[in-house]
Structure 1
Amino acid sequence: MRHAFPGGTPALDFPGTLRFRHRPEPREDLDSPADLSIWFREAGITEADIPVGTADLRRALALREAVYPLILAAMADREYDPDALALVNHHAAGPTPVPRLTPTGRRVDATVDQALAHVARDVVAALSGPDVVLFKECGNPECSQVFIDRSRGARREWCAMDPCGNKIKAAAYRARKRAGTHGITGRSR
């Protein structure tokens, strides 16, 4: 897979396509129309790549950038930005992809508008549902991925072990080593 899906729902994974938002230079995972088509397929919204144009990509990025502040507002129990809310609701009002049963199995084809409607409806469901209290931002200070923490005791710290959890654990190990502490017991070797 080309794209990562650590959020637990397209509503959180779609904004995560702009990675490391806290860095001066975030990483864009949707650099081209083809990247967006691949994301729709890998997210399970469509079963095959769909034709995506440059204007479609611009509309998708506008939706993505409207969704992210809505997620942060929901996490902080703040009011939603009315323009961001209007854009999400505009996309959510459109038709979504329709699954079909074929002689060879299930098939889902979609237009870009249908795929964006699917994402927007997922945003509506996620932000109005019971899981909002489980939303967390990754504990890696450089990462901005929001995820649903369904772990026992809500103790999950990272969006994913690779790369964020591994990076933080390795840094903690190196810090302990520099301080002369090795392992959990604190004994030096």
Structure 2
Amino acid sequence: MLSTSKCVLLVSEMSKESKKFKVPDELANLYDFANSLDVRHFTHHGVAHLQGDELAGPRQLGAWMARRGLLWTGAKIMPAMFDVALQLRGSVRDYLQCDPAERRRNKDAIRSLNDALKLFPLAVEARRDGGMVLRPARRDALAGLSAISAELYDGSITGTLDRLKMCAAEECRRVFFDRSKPATRRWCMSTLCGNRIKTRAYRERQRAAG
């Protein structure tokens, strides 16, 4: 059995968010990458949440990668390369929004993810000490994003990928790591998204009953 977290020479610098929510190191880049797009649009305590995109352009993508030790070359990220990165992020989010059991059956999500991952292949390389490592096959400015391929593979092997989910609240859709023992959480935060949805459902039942 191959564990890419041990074999791929990819530097992972966990963000404050991944540390705060205790996301495993081997999924930190994947978690941050999926959440680099913030589509939350709810109001909490009277304050409207502002949407945002950490990868608003090639320069911002480069800065995001650099903060995580994934920018290994001084080459510029060109517009076409930026589009490839966004394609990967979109396919990752589409895949993670599926329930873990549904991911194995959703042909569209699987096809989209596979098409994106083909552009970030990993190659086996022999070391002088007799060991083997996996390295990105790309050699351009996007090579570091192959960390996403590695973490998806590693998570599928260890089973931790099934615990990486997208919040069921339509006004949230943030990816979270389900640390509950039965792994049945549906919301990123039960005290926020969970309570909001339950309150809304209760009010709708009250109106229907009235």
Which amino acid in 1 is paired with 2:160? D
The 3-state SS of whatever aligns with 2:35 is helix
Shift of residue 157, structure 1, vs aligned partner: 8.0
After superposition, the C-alpha distances for 1:108-151 in whole angstroms (9 at most, x for unaligned) are xx732311222222223224531133234347653222122336
Which amino acid in 1 is paired with 2:30? A
Q: What residue in structure 2 maps to residue 64 of structure 1?
A: 89
Structure 1: unaligned runs, 5 residues or longer: 97-109, 176-189
Partners of 1:74 and 1:151 lie apart in 2 by 15
Structure 2: unaligned runs, 5 residues or longer: 1-14, 43-49, 125-138, 200-210
Structure 1 residue corresponding to 2:62, chosen from 33, 37, 40: 37
Give the 3 Å change call, closer, same or farther, for CA 31–124 of structure 1 in structure 2. Answer: same
Structure 1 residue corresponding to 2:53, chosen from 28, 45, 49: 28
Matching of residue 87 in structure 1 with residue 128 in structure 2: no
The 3-state SS of whatever aligns with 1:147 is strand
Partners of 2:98 and 2:165 lie apart in 1 by 12
Q: What residue in structure 2 maps to residue 18 of structure 1?
A: 37
Structure 1 residue corresponding to 2:154, chosen from 118, 125, 128: 125
Give the 3 Å change call, closer, same or farther, for CA 19–144 of structure 1 in structure 2. Answer: same
Which amino acid in 2 is paired with 1:54? P
| Maintained 8 Å contact 2:71/2:142 | no
After superposition, the C-alpha distances for 1:10-67 in whole angstroms (9 at most, x for unaligned) are 22321211112678x9532211111111111223324787632222111100111111
Partners of 1:155 and 1:128 lie apart in 2 by 20
Matches within 5 A, 1:144-183: 144-150=173-179, 159=188, 168=192
The number of residues matched between the two structures is 152
The 3-state SS of whatever aligns with 1:12 is helix
Q: What residue in structure 2 maps to residue 113 of structure 1?
A: 142
| Maintained 8 Å contact 1:33/1:53 | yes
The 3-state SS of whatever aligns with 2:98 is helix
| Maintained 8 Å contact 2:71/2:141 | no
TM-score if structure 2 supplies the norm length? 0.54
Partners of 2:184 and 2:91 lie apart in 1 by 28
TM-score if structure 1 supplies the norm length? 0.58
Two-structure CA RMSD over aligned residues (Å): 4.0
Give the 3 Å change call, closer, same or farther, for CA 49–147 of structure 1 in structure 2. Answer: farther
